[in-house]
Amino acid sequence: MNPSANGWIKKLLNLVSETVYSQTDTEVFYINLKRAGFIYGSNIKVVLDIVKPFELSEEERCKINLLLTFYYIYNKENSKEQFTESLIKYYKSITDQKRSFFEDLFSDKSPDSLLEKIIHKRIHIDDNFISKSFNYFLINALLFVDALGYQRFLKDEHKIKDYVENLESALETIVFSVIENKTVKSEYDENLIKLFESSIRYKNAELLTYTDAISIINEPLEKLYVIDLVCMASWTDKIIDRDEQDFLNQLKSDLSVEHTVIVKSVNDINLFYNEHKEEVAFLSSKNLAQSFYDNSTKVVSKLIKRNSKRLIKELSESKEALYLLTQSTQRNLTDEEQKKIQTQLIDIFKSIPSLAIFMLPGGMLLLPLFIKFIPKLLPSAFDDNRIDDKD
Contact criterion met (CB below 8 Å) for 113 and 6: yes
Domain final residue pick, 264, 284, 304: 284
- Give every residue of the chain whose pLDDT is below 50, as ranges: 98-99, 125-137, 205, 286-287, 381-391
Angle at 275 between CA 58 and CA 224, to 5 degrees: 75
pLDDT recorded at residue 102: 55
pLDDT of residue 281: 55
* pLDDT, position 130: 38
Domain check: are 169 and 305 in the same one?
Answer: no
Domain of 366, in residue numbers: 288-382
Please indicate, yes or no, whether residues 303 and 193 belong to a single structural domain of this protein: no
* Number of folded domains that form the chain: 2
Q: Are both 278 and 355 inside the same structural domain?
A: no
Could you read off the pLDDT of 184-239 as tens digits, one per residue?
666 656 666 665 665 555 555 467 899 999 999 999 999 999 999 888 877 755 66
User: What are the angstrom distances between the C-alpha of 191 and each of 42, 100, 187, 298?
Assistant: 19, 26, 6, 20
**Residue 378, domain member (yes or no):** yes
CA distance linking residue 384 with residue 380, whole number of Å: 7
Q: Global pTM?
A: 0.70
Q: Is residue 15 part of a domain?
A: yes
Alpha-carbon distance of 79 to 73, in angstroms, equals 9
Domain boundary among 240, 258, 284: 284
Q: Looking at the structure, do residues 348 and 278 belong to the same domain, yes or no?
A: no
- Asked whether residue 209 is domain-assigned, the answer is yes
Do residues 302 and 221 both lie within one domain?
A: no
CA–CA dist 90, 206 (Å, integer): 27
Same domain, 263 and 375: no
Boundary of a domain, candidates 284, 306, 334: 284
Report the distance separating Cα 360 and Cα 102, nearest Å.
10
Look at residue 278 and tell me if it is in a domain: yes
8-state DSSP, 236: G
In angstroms, the CA 272 to CA 26 distance is 20
Q: Please state, in angstroms and rounded to a whole number, the distance separating the CA atoms of residues 38 and 108.
A: 28
The verdict on residue 387 lying in a domain is no
- The answer to whether residue 203 is domain-embedded is yes
One domain, residues 297 and 273: no
How many beta carbons lie within 10 A of that of residue 274, not counting itself? 10
Q: Specify if 253 maps to a domain.
A: yes
Residues 101 and 218 in one domain: yes
Strand intervals (E) in the chain:
none
Are 333 and 192 in the same domain? no
CA angle 154, 137, 190 (to 5 degrees): 110
Give the per-residue pLDDT at 133. Answer: 39
Is residue 391 included in any domain, yes or no?
no
Helices H / strands E in the chain, number of each: 18, 0
SS3 call for 187: helix
130 and 269 housed in the same domain = yes
Residues 22 and 36 in one domain: yes
Looking at the fold, whether 344 and 295 belong to one and the same domain comes out as: yes
DSSP secondary structure string for all residues of 348-369 = HHHH-GGGGGGGSTTGGGGHHH
